[in-house]
Amino acid sequence: MYQSISELVQAAVDLETSISEIILQQEIQNTARTREEIWAGMAKRLEVMKTSAEEGLRKPVRSLSGMLRGNAHQFNSWLSENKPRATNGILSRAVARALSVGEVNASMGCIVATPTAGAAGTLPAVLLSLQESCGLSDTALIQSLFTAAGVGSVIMLRATISGAAAGCQAETGSAAAMAAAAGVEALGGSPDQAAHAAAFALQNMLGLVCDPIGGLVEVPCVFRNAGSAAQSLVAIDLALAGIKNPVPADEIIDAMERIGRRMDERFKETAQGGIAATPTGRQLTKYFFPGTASADSEGL
Amino acid sequence: MTEKRFISVFEAIGPVMVGPSSSHTAGAVRLGLMGRALLGSTPQNALIRLHGSFAKTGRGHGTDRAIIAGLLGLGTADQRIRLSHTLAGDCGLAFSFEEIDLGADVHPNSAQFILSAGERQVTFTGSSLGGGRIEIIDLQGYPVSFNGEYCTLIIISADQPGTINTITGWLAEAHINIAFLKVERQKIGEEAIMIIETDQPVTRELSVKIASLPWVRWSRIVPKLGD
């Protein structure tokens, strides 16, 4: 089992192959499953990603609480009107897809946890938007998902992907790093560039707290996925341009773990701090969960 | 801090699940599936008492729908989970939810189940531990610990010599390997519970044979739960 991104890059360079291929071989060696079975499992996950990334664009999806009502659909409709806007192309399409997956998740729809349900919008948003704009094949996308899994597994070994353990940096931060490495590989970048992309993405998201209103995986989670998809796309281009982050990915993962450990409990999925504890956050909590302790300090 | 265990690609890219949260939906569905298995059929009546975070935010997370979906036999990725309360009527399941305080020692994502179908009944308490993993902590008044990761044979019997020998002998004859075996009793010579987790599934034939033993008062085979 590879314990570091640097070992993964080295193995890929030594064997003149990709990070995804190293991870695929590791999976074959450690499970009783064939390459074809593992590939089919990943292909199935890509299909679920596509469905969840499209559903919210086609029709307004309402979250279980009603806090989110068809934002992905609204965003997508607005894009088609071609009004003046700040983002374009891949980035704006990624934002739409991230919102869609987040809303589908919050409405009890089917998603792939990448690496968690709360961060499930980031990876599909990045990869499917790259596919659309750069003409990537499904095969290339499925292959790149193994690189994403490799980065995710190193983060799980060295740190954590749990918001309850280390805040949102561990969820959407990890998702952005996974998507960045996968995106670089899918676009033909080197294993070393994939590692730098993961480093840039996670580095830009360090310190992010997990502060969901009412403890629901809705606000700010769904919008954070749009943000982390953007961070991931920025990281991909930084790396593909050949820019190297002075601090390697493994050290950034370790820093994330230390930051998470020192983070106050109020910022670790307890709905007691940050956005959840704002006057509006408390009002909404009280509205959705009358009588809960966390909502009592501010009246509606 | 570094762990040495193998992490499958499907832990980082997966599971495929119905949202919004693995502990409040996937884990709750699996508790429902466990309830169905412990009863031995789809329940006709279900009283579910939600504890801790399940009680406070369960409705917002869809925990109530997920539990009923599990009791009806829907899997964790089934799109019909959100419609489970309507489906329950079609399946002849009458259910109600209450809040309960099971104490500070019990995991915040826990629920007590009181299920029945005709003559059958079962009462148990289970917890959703995160990532969809569950643990049953109380069954028919006995403190227990099992999680559905294995096929599980549960036998409540008269506390007398030779019971374990008989059962383990039959399992060996059927080439079923025992992964874990736990025995608890209430009082010497009265009643004991045996929980046997096995690597291979226990056959229906063997289950009927066990249930017909004169000293067996209650027995169930819980199949390994899916993801």
User: What single string gives the DSSP state of each residue in A74-91?
Assistant: HHHHHHHTT-S-S--HHH
In angstroms, the CA A42 to CA B7 distance is 15
Q: Is residue B49 part of a domain?
A: yes
Distance from CA of A291 to the nearest CA of B (A): 9
pLDDT band (50, 70, 90) for residue A139: very high
Taking only the tens place, the pLDDT of each residue in A12-69 is 999 999 999 999 999 999 988 999 999 999 999 999 999 999 999 999 999 989 999 9
Whether B89 and B187 map to the same domain: the answer is: no
Whether B36 and B89 map to the same domain: the answer is: yes
For B13, nearest residue in chain A (alpha carbons): A114
pLDDT band (50, 70, 90) for residue B4: low
In angstroms, the CA A273 to CA A212 distance is 9
Domain that holds residue A111: 5-269
- Please give the pLDDT value at position A233: 98
Residues of B in contact with A164 (CB under 8 A): 130
Task: Identify whether the C-beta of residue A19 lies closer than 8 Å to the C-beta of residue A198.
Answer: no
Whether B72 and B103 map to the same domain: the answer is: yes
Going by C-alpha positions, the residue among B36, B59, B35 that lies closest to residue B136 is: B35
Whether B135 and B161 map to the same domain: the answer is: no
Task: Identify whether the C-beta of residue B168 lies closer than 8 Å to the C-beta of residue B138.
Answer: no
Mutating which of A29, A39, A110 best tests the B interface, going by the most B Cβ atoms within 10 A?
Answer: A110
Domain that holds residue B62: 14-139
Would the CB atoms of A288 and B2 count as touching at under 8 Å? no
Encoded tokens for A201: 């993405």
Residues of A in contact with B83 (CB under 8 A): none
Whether B163 and B75 map to the same domain: the answer is: no
pLDDT at B135 over 90: yes
The CATH code of the domain that includes B43 is 3.30.1330.90
The CATH code of the domain that includes B211 is 3.30.70.260
Average of per-residue pLDDT across A133-155: 98
The CATH code of the domain that includes A233 is 1.10.4100
Average of per-residue pLDDT across B16-34: 92
Distance from CA of B15 to the nearest CA of A (A): 6
pLDDT band (50, 70, 90) for residue B53: confident
Whether B21 and B129 map to the same domain: the answer is: yes
Q: How many domains does chain A have?
A: 1
Whether B100 and B171 map to the same domain: the answer is: no
Q: Which of B122, B139, B156 corresponds to the end of one domain?
A: B139
Q: Which of B139, B169, B198 corresponds to the end of one domain?
A: B139
Contacts of B77 (CB under 8 A, 6+ apart): A110, B15, B16, B17, B18
pLDDT at A294 over 70: no
Going by C-alpha positions, the residue among A67, A76, A113, A115 that lies closest to residue A97 is: A76
Would the CB atoms of A153 and B11 count as touching at under 8 Å? yes
Q: Is residue A14 part of a domain?
A: yes
Q: Is residue A293 part of a domain?
A: no
For the packed helices A5-14 and A191-203, what is the interaxial angle rounded to 10 degrees? Answer: 160
pLDDT band (50, 70, 90) for residue A299: very low
Going by C-alpha positions, the residue among A242, A246, A208 that lies closest to residue A227 is: A208
Would the CB atoms of A111 and B10 count as touching at under 8 Å? no
- Please give the pLDDT value at position B225: 87
Q: Is residue A276 part of a domain?
A: no
In angstroms, the CA B112 to CA B48 distance is 6
Encoded tokens for B170: 């039959």
Distance from CA of A264 to the nearest CA of B (A): 19
Q: Is the ipTM of this complex over 0.90?
A: yes
**Does the bond joining A220 to the residue before it have cis omega, within 30 degrees of 0?**
yes
Distance from CA of A142 to the nearest CA of B (A): 11
Task: Identify whether the C-beta of residue A198 lies closer than 8 Å to the C-beta of residue A5.
Answer: yes
Contacts of A78 (CB under 8 A, 6+ apart): none
H helix or E strand, kind and range, residue A104: helix A89-106
Distance from CA of A96 to the nearest CA of B (A): 19
Going by C-alpha positions, the residue among A160, A172, A215, A209 that lies closest to residue B21 is: A215
Would the CB atoms of B60 and A64 count as touching at under 8 Å? yes
Q: Which of A118, A152, A257 sits opposite B12 (nearest CB)?
A: A152
**Does the bond joining B20 to the residue before it have cis omega, within 30 degrees of 0?**
yes
In angstroms, the CA A123 to CA A12 distance is 22
Supply the mean pLDDT for chain B.
92
In angstroms, the CA A52 to CA A55 distance is 5
Q: Is residue B7 part of a domain?
A: no
Encoded tokens for A155: 């983060």
- Please give the pLDDT value at position A291: 58
Task: Identify whether the C-beta of residue A197 lies closer than 8 Å to the C-beta of residue A134.
Answer: no
Query: Scanning the structure block, which residue is given the tokens 């059958």?
Result: B120
Would the CB atoms of B7 and A156 count as touching at under 8 Å? yes
Would the CB atoms of A149 and B9 count as touching at under 8 Å? yes
